[in-house]
Copies of this chain bind each other. A is one copy, B any other.
Amino acid sequence: MKGFGVLKKGNVGWMEKPDPVCGPFDAIARPVAIAPCTSDVHSAYEMDGPHLVNRILGHECVGELIETGSEVKDFKVGDRVVIPCTTPSWRYPGSQDGLHQHEAGLVSGINFSTYEDGTFADHIKIRSADLNLALLPADLPAETAVMLTDMMTTGFHGAELAEVKFGDSVCVLGIGPVGLMAVAGSALAGAGKLYAVGSRPDCVALAKVYGATDTINYKEGKIYDQIMAATGGKGVDAAIVAGGDLDTFYTAFGICKPGGNVANINVFTEIPSFNIPIEYTGGGWLGHITLRGGLCPGGRRRMERLIAIVQAGRVDPGKMITHRFKGLEAIPEAFQLMVNKPRDLIKPVINFN
């Protein structure tokens, strides 16, 4: 098999490897549509570890099955499937406690480009196929479905972690693709006022399409000040951190009412500590502010649920696609786009035939 990934830290390129072996519960797919993610860039240039040497990257994919294991019951060769970013083995008791993402320890449910090779390849192996794959409906474009595998499930998880309920006022901080899906997820959870914080015009426009009632440009004043002005000094019921820097993260606490929920779906790894100013913590947490952080939910039922939402017409994550590429050979160019992050980029996708 041929794939694109990290040769060693800071060095990306093509690699040839033996074709993956399909275990009895596994399936092998060829890519139908894939997308690079900012996390791939992190894995290539910022993260360390022996698992990131000669490792094929990529974790967002719709594929067509070319082989299925002997114990796979619900899928067959030729099926087009949505492959979630998070594909647990479902063989550890940890998932019985409700967190498949961490079935056998922190982040152990993410297999692509960590323990095994990722989706930037002509052969993609998926473990526990019956428990992780979802059939792609005929009327759902593959490139739209790719948006579900990480962006939509993570963004919607932001709304879940923030426990958005009917009429809540919500602020989503950061409106790249994950933040945009947090906006859509909050609107679809019944938010009332929905503030989206960002500056890039394309993102701001799309945030409104996805349900933001107000947008806040952090270049025009402190986020805290703008939210307080907009809410008459009351703050919001929920804040979802989907981008920005540490100050953005801290601000999320400051703008919450007593009883408010902060959800973090941003990744902070290259820092020594979270240094949250006490004046942002509701009397040093006496104010019942809750912080929840989390990682993209995966598995078959999650994908089936998101597919049902998209098919019902409640949100179209395909609108985030700003750049389209074609075929395996385009992966390096699409990847480089994620490195460069031009101002008009929301999400690129690579289609195969």
A residues neighboring B (CB under 8 Å): 90-94, 96-102, 105-107, 130-131, 156, 160, 166-169, 185, 187-194, 211, 213, 237, 257-259, 264, 267-269, 271-278, 281-295, 299-302, 304-309, 311-314
The residue of chain B having its C-beta at the shortest distance from the C-beta of A283 within the complex is B106
> Which of B93, B191, B288 touches A293 (beta carbons < 8 Å)?
B288
Specify which chain B residues have a CB less than 8 angstroms from the CB of A191 in the assembled complex: 309, 312
Contacts A106-B286, A272-B278 hold; do A309 and B167 have CB atoms under 8 A apart?
Answer: yes
Contact B93 A166 (CB under 8 A): no
Contacts A93-B300, A300-B96 hold; do A287 and B211 have CB atoms under 8 A apart?
Answer: no
Contact B294 A93 (CB under 8 A): no
Question: For the complex, what is the distance from the CA of A130 to the CA of B106, rounded to whole Å?
Answer: 19
Specify which chain B residues have a CB less than 8 angstroms from the CB of A304 in the assembled complex: 93, 167
Specify which chain B residues have a CB less than 8 angstroms from the CB of A168 in the assembled complex: 305
Specify which chain B residues have a CB less than 8 angstroms from the CB of A190 in the assembled complex: 156, 185, 188-189, 309, 314
Shortest beta-carbon distance from A123 to chain B in Å:
24
Contact A166 B300 (CB under 8 A): no
Q: Name which of A99, A167, A276, A304 has the most chain B CB atoms within 10 A of its CB.
A: A167
Contact B288 A294 (CB under 8 A): yes
Contact A291 B288 (CB under 8 A): no
Shortest beta-carbon distance from A193 to chain B in Å:
6
Nearest 9 pairs between A and B by C-beta? A167-B305, A285-B293, A192-B308, A102-B258, A268-B284, A96-B301, A99-B259, A291-B291, A93-B300
Specify which chain B residues have a CB less than 8 angstroms from the CB of A294 in the assembled complex: 285-288
Question: For the complex, what is the distance from the CA of A107 to the CA of B288, rounded to whole Å?
Answer: 10
Question: For the complex, what is the distance from the CA of A114 to the CA of B15, rounded to whole Å?
Answer: 51
Question: For the complex, what is the distance from the CA of A153 to the CA of B324, rounded to whole Å?
Answer: 44
The residue of chain B having its C-beta at the shortest distance from the C-beta of A271 within the complex is B278
Contact B288 A269 (CB under 8 A): no
Shortest beta-carbon distance from A11 to chain B in Å:
24
Specify which chain B residues have a CB less than 8 angstroms from the CB of A285 in the assembled complex: 264, 268, 291-294
Specify which chain B residues have a CB less than 8 angstroms from the CB of A93 in the assembled complex: 130-131, 299-301, 304
Question: For the complex, what is the distance from the CA of A99 to the CA of B288, rounded to whole Å?
Answer: 8
> Which of B237, B278, B286 touches A273 (beta carbons < 8 Å)?
B278
Specify which chain B residues have a CB less than 8 angstroms from the CB of A102 in the assembled complex: 257-259, 287-288
Specify which chain B residues have a CB less than 8 angstroms from the CB of A264 in the assembled complex: 285
Shortest beta-carbon distance from A157 to chain B in Å:
9
Shortest beta-carbon distance from A237 to chain B in Å:
8
Contact A258 B96 (CB under 8 A): no
Shortest beta-carbon distance from A67 to chain B in Å:
19
Specify which chain B residues have a CB less than 8 angstroms from the CB of A106 in the assembled complex: 258, 282-283, 286-287
Specify which chain B residues have a CB less than 8 angstroms from the CB of A194 in the assembled complex: 312
